[in-house]
Amino acid sequence: MNSQMKYKQEDIIKIFIQEWPNIEFGIKTISKSKDTLKKYYWAILQSKLQLWRKTIKGKLALILIYDQAPRFIFDDNPRIYDTDKLAREITAELFENSEYKKLLPLEIMFAFFPYHHSENLEHQKIANKIFKELYEKDSKTFEWIYHASNTYNEIIAKFGRFPHRNKIFGRKTTKEEKNYRNAWYLASF
């Protein structure tokens, strides 16, 4: 049996999109799918799903596997970020040729999560622009991601990195980062 046959792009897209925009239900659905995500993640690392890159939905599914799946599989482990670069490469393809515009709004949001998770300010600015456009079309659905994107832009502009990742990467946290994190944490309540 062809290995491409037992893996379906639609299955991955459905896991991430079916319960959105309800974030709470979305995260619960994704968390319940951890075993499936692991199966797809290991398959992609063995280059079994590279043909997916030929279609826009395939690219979205690859982004979801590279960017989102590790965040649910690995918890507080540096492996969370191992495939971020691969996800960003596909996001770049979608952005540079405007192919992302063929996706549904929620799919666009997920397609730009790799830039939203990036410690590169230019990536942050692009994600913020996309999330702002989504927010302007549907403020109820995309308010949270647009506001989160504004905060991420501020953090990367100020520090050039996400201070909350310092421990996992073995980076030293500066006094300024610590003060900012404490203020940010308190402001979230």
Segment 132-137 shows an average pLDDT of 98
Q: Are 116 and 124 in contact (CB under 8 A)?
A: yes
Confidence of residue 22 (pLDDT cuts 50, 70, 90): low
Decide which of 143 and 183 is more confident.
143
pLDDT in tens, 144-160: 999 999 999 999 999 99
Name the 3-class secondary structure at 76.
Answer: coil
Q: What angle do CA 28, 132, 104 make, to 5 degrees?
A: 55
Segment 92-107 shows an average pLDDT of 97
Decide which of 32 and 1 is more confident.
32
Q: Are 164 and 181 in contact (CB under 8 A)?
A: yes
Would you state the pLDDT for residue 183?
65
Q: What is the CATH number of domain 9-187?
A: 1.25.40.10
Length of the chain: 189
Would you state the pLDDT for residue 39?
92
pTM of the predicted structure, to 2 decimals: 0.89
If you ran DSSP here, which 8-state letter would residue 172 be given? P
Residue 47 pLDDT greater than 90, yes or no: no
Segment 85-96 shows an average pLDDT of 97
